[in-house]
Amino acid sequence: MTSETGPTAKPWIEAIHAYVPGRATGADGRKLIKLSANENPLGCSPAAAEALAGVSTGARYPDPDATQLRAAIGELHGIDPARIVCGTGSDELLNLAAQGYAGPGDEVLFPRYSFAVYDIAARRCGAVPVEAPDRDYGADVDAMLAAVTPSTRVVFVANPNNPTGTFLPVDEVARLHAGLPRDVLFVLDQAYGEYLQPGEDDGGLALAARHDNVLVTRTFSKIYGLAGERIGWATGATALIATLNRIRGPFNVTVSGQVAARAALADQDFVERSRRHNAEGLARFAEAVETLGNRGLHAVPSKANFLLVLFEGALSAERALAALAEAGYAVRHLPGQRLPHALRITIGSTEDMDEIAAVLRREAEAAV
């Protein structure tokens, strides 16, 4: 006989709103140019593509410790590989950080307008997600420190931030860290860190090297153009790395992922090219948006590979979203993250960004 009710999920799991990924199809099912998931429009390094093409069958499990990949990451960044752990995307590592250090009744703190996974990561382990008020769509260090309570166990900050592109400079990151109790884990998520220009470093890796309570996460999904391979990494004190190693999947980075990531790391010219393409495209697109300021369109200053465009005039974000889909583009609308008045647009090719700017201008001028 079958049960009427079936198993009951834990109430804190029931409370989770599943992550909504950026998609590439329009409402009518049409395939669109995808500028909704902050992927690299240049793809990945040709060397990484070649390495991927050469991967043989998946009959064998991967190296469970991603030994060569960790060595290559360590060499590039000057980090002891013993202080590095790789993950199935940095998503896995963010979740493991929450799971390792927070549980029922504990608080996990992050700024308003943060990466959606932080809320899910907190709820997954029964902890309470707590949002600190933002300042101009970015993290506000004073508000963050004021929101710390004796129950705070983990603090997440993405720098640059998703979905807003805002950046917390090195002195502000240091001030936030210095103000946190020593037994609170500070997770600095640098998924977009490689998009910063040389000299713009937020000091995260140095903090993680010096302090027992700082974990920095990075990914191969963004500038390295390997989102489909699902590889991220984290660095911090060996005790933190040991915690994540205890609870991660035993073979969490695939054979192809390890091979591709190593080839990608070795091609820093591609990274440089991607950084330059993004910086130029971002500046050009932001400028185009700002010329529509008199129509109520504004760009939040971004240091990532996307721009958050605010619609504060007659043209609504919904209408702009529909017009862009009509023109063949998928961008990100985030009403679930309380940004119904904004679109997050990944920087694509120069032609695509010029076309998007033209659509926004046409729609803004037509709106009354």
Task: Enumerate binding residues for ligand PMP (CB under 6 A).
Answer: 38, 89-91, 115, 158, 162, 189, 191, 219, 221, 227, 232
Shorter beta-carbon distance to ligand PMP: residue 188 or 360: 188
Shorter beta-carbon distance to ligand PMP: residue 62 or 165: 165
Strands (E), 5-83: 33-34
Q: How far apart are CB 363 and ligand PMP at their closest, in Å?
A: 27
Shorter beta-carbon distance to ligand PMP: residue 221 or 243: 221
Report residue 351: phi and psi, to 5°. Answer: -65, -45
Q: How far apart are CB 198 and ligand PMP at their closest, in Å?
A: 21
The CB density around residue 169, as the number of other CB atoms within 10 Å, is 13
Q: How far apart are CB 295 and ligand PMP at their closest, in Å?
A: 29
State how far the Cα of 255 lies from the Cα of 250, in Å rounded to an integer: 13
Shorter beta-carbon distance to ligand PMP: residue 77 or 319: 77
Shorter beta-carbon distance to ligand PMP: residue 166 or 221: 221
User: Under DSSP, is residue 20 helix (H, G, I), strand (E, B) or coil?
Assistant: coil
Q: How far apart are CB 84 and ligand PMP at their closest, in Å?
A: 15
Q: How far apart are CB 242 and ligand PMP at their closest, in Å?
A: 21
The CB density around residue 232, as the number of other CB atoms within 10 Å, is 26
62 neighbors 253 (Cβ within 8 angstroms): yes
Pairing mode, strands 152-158 and 107-111: parallel
Task: Output the residue with the shortest Cβ distance to ligand PMP.
Answer: 89
State how far the Cα of 317 lies from the Cα of 342, in Å rounded to an integer: 6
Shorter beta-carbon distance to ligand PMP: residue 36 or 295: 36
Shorter beta-carbon distance to ligand PMP: residue 116 or 237: 116
Q: How far apart are CB 89 and ligand PMP at their closest, in Å?
A: 3
DSSP-derived secondary structure letter, 193 = G
State how far the Cα of 278 lies from the Cα of 272, in Å rounded to an integer: 10
Q: Cis omega before residue 133 (within 30°)? A: no
The CB density around residue 11, as the number of other CB atoms within 10 Å, is 8
Shorter beta-carbon distance to ligand PMP: residue 144 or 288: 144
Q: How far apart are CB 55 and ligand PMP at their closest, in Å?
A: 19
State how far the Cα of 225 lies from the Cα of 145, in Å rounded to an integer: 35
Report residue 16: phi and psi, to 5°. Answer: -80, 135
State how far the Cα of 368 lies from the Cα of 356, in Å rounded to an integer: 20
Q: How far apart are CB 302 and ligand PMP at their closest, in Å?
A: 13
Pairing mode, strands 185-189 and 152-158: parallel
